[in-house]
Amino acid sequence: MDKKEIIRDELLNWDNTVRKRKVTLSNPVFIKGLALAPMAVAATNLENSIILCIAVALMLTPTRIITSLITRKMSVPLKTFYYPLVSAIVFGVTYYLMYRILGTTAFSLGVYLPVLVVDPLIVKNFEKTRKESFTYSVINGLRNTLGFVVACLLLGSIRELLALGTVGGIKLMKVSLLPMAQHSFGGFLIIGIISAVWKMCINLYHDKLEREVAAHE
């Protein structure tokens, strides 16, 4: 398939293209608005963002796989119960593993790590009525995880840089451009700005594809 056919296929199947590209076109944080509370409150610097990323990486895909296997024949109301239950059990294992890996540093985010148990990022899939195969659960879980990791690391780095002039503890600026970036309000504000720019870039990309297809017709 040449470039022209690839572009045409992306446009004709735009919804499917968006669904598959969890990092860019349908980022779970900047486009879907998932996990906003943990991100805005806890992802204040690169270190905290890494802790959040580890937790989500250990929780999201396993929760999705387990629930897809045990809720295949269940109605949505029953799935509503089982998704948080499985998520809570997986979180218990995750919390233990994180303590073994990071020590007491794993507890530095306080309540915003356990909040992930009921966050839509982890449990939103219960509302779907169609059955989900094991392979699809793994692939989609990993895609969402990668999308979250990219968003979380980006947000944490930007907030740390604006508030402290550092990234990962490394001094990059001598001045603090936006001290409130360390606070929840600043977190939500920065997420909103990034989301707006992110969406604008997606629209520009879509328009670019349309122009390229039109140029070849």
Report residue 57 as tokens. Answer: 């990486």
- Higher-confidence residue of 113 and 152: namely 152
Using an 8 Å Cβ cutoff, are 60 and 53 in contact? no
Mean pLDDT of 44-63: 95
Find the helix or strand (DSSP H, E) in which 88 lies. helix 76-102
Global model pTM greater than 0.85: yes
pLDDT digits 0-9 by tens, 19-39: 889 999 999 999 999 999 999
CA 184/CA 27 separation, integer angstroms? 21
Boundaries of every domain in the chain = 3-215
pLDDT digits 0-9 by tens, 157-214: 999 999 999 999 999 998 899 999 999 999 999 999 999 999 999 999 999 988 887 8
List, in order, residues 6 or more apart from 66 with CB less than 8 Å away.
86, 90
Long-range contacts of 135-139 (CB under 8 A, 24+ apart): 136/68, 137/61, 137/64, 137/65, 137/68, 138/61, 138/65
pLDDT digits 0-9 by tens, 89-121: 999 999 999 999 888 888 888 888 899 998 989
pLDDT digits 0-9 by tens, 59-71: 999 998 998 888 7
Q: Which residues pair with 170 in a beta bridge?
A: 167
Using an 8 Å Cβ cutoff, are 104 and 92 in contact? no
Kindly tell me if the per-residue pLDDT of 11 is higher than 80: yes
Report residue 52 as tokens. Answer: 């959040």
